Amino acid sequence: MKALAVMTLAATAMAWTAPAAAQFAKAEDAIQYRQGALFVMGQHFGRLGAMANGKAPFDARLAQENADVVAAMARLPWAGFGPGTDKGAPTKAKPAIWSEQAKFKEHADKLEAESIKLAAAAKTGSLDNLKAAFGPAAQSCKSCHDAYRSK
Amino acid sequence: MKALAVMTLAATAMAWTAPAAAQFAKAEDAIQYRQGALFVMGQHFGRLGAMANGKAPFDARLAQENADVVAAMARLPWAGFGPGTDKGAPTKAKPAIWSEQAKFKEHADKLEAESIKLAAAAKTGSLDNLKAAFGPAAQSCKSCHDAYRSK
């Protein structure tokens, strides 16, 4: 039983540190995955932005739905940036992502944290709270795009 | 106050019945959105399938994480199939989607329901439960693809 437990732990550790090849059949899939996740997130984020910036009427229920999707999606794209996924399909991802992994992860973690705050703000039903949380979340998108996404 | 409440209700109703143009800036965005959401869902679904079919070791925690993502993603793609989104970017979506909207919606609803069952099954931590729920969920993907996705 102890040997089994150790093996299970080892297998779990492997799953968490496995290269992208283990999670995705090929680099192209990882690239398509991260692009898909970022695009879906961006669409919902944009709808929140329209409300926060007064370009769309504020609807507390829609704001919460969109913010919940953003918070759920914000966790996903990063698995698609594993080793060996810098090429394999058209991508705007800069090579620095793979040479500065710790810094890139900081950006990813920042977005996840801001998206959780944004969802909490949306849940209050207050446009002012949404506006206050939207700015820092948008800034976390922008700073990562400025550093790691080609024009 | 009553007038305001009526206006708010009207605005909410509009938001829910608005054509895709109101949710997406252009048809191309709707197409990219639904393709992204379906691809992300498919990747996580595939990992569950690998476990259910014995091609990957069963890991209860990973199964639950993947099933939760599938259940969250299963709600999203359908908004990307609004009126006018049958063209605008390369798509395998068949025209029948727009001429048989009620039938297409049945397929979407079926997947959402099966994905919720799948997540509940994964949560039990039992591979047998996962296997039992995976089959009907996979069948719901297949029947919709057979009817509405070009080869």
Q: What is the pLDDT of residues A82-111, one digit of tens each?
A: 999 999 999 999 999 999 999 999 999 999
Tell me the average pLDDT of chain A.
Answer: 89
**Residue B15, pLDDT above cutoff 80:** no
Choose the weakest-confidence range: A4-8, B33-37, B61-65, B133-137.
A4-8
- Residue length of chain A: 151
Q: Region B60-88: what's the mean pLDDT?
A: 96
Q: What is the pLDDT of residue B22?
A: 57
Model confidence at B118, in pLDDT bands (50, 70, 90)? very high
Model confidence at B11, in pLDDT bands (50, 70, 90)? very low
Q: What is the pLDDT of residue B94?
A: 98
Count Cβ atoms within 10 A of the Cβ of residue A129 and give its class: 0-12 exposed, 13-18 middle, 19 or more buried: middle
pTM listed for this prediction: 0.86
Q: What is the pLDDT of residue B61?
A: 96
Percent of chain B with pLDDT strictly greater than 90:
84
Contact of A29 with chain B, judged by CB distance below 8 Å, is answered with: yes
Contact B12 A43 (CB under 8 A): no
**Among the residues of chain A, which ranges form H helices?**
2-17, 20-23, 27-52, 60-73, 96-99, 101-123, 127-148
Contact B24 A43 (CB under 8 A): yes
Which one of B36, B59, B61 has the shortest CB-CB distance to A40?
B36
pLDDT below 70 — which residues of chain A? 1-22
Contact of A90 with chain B, judged by CB distance below 8 Å, is answered with: no
Contact B59 A15 (CB under 8 A): yes
Cα dist. B103→A145, B96, B99, B100, B106 in Å?
41, 9, 9, 5, 5
Give A40-51 pLDDT, tens digit per residue: 999 999 999 999
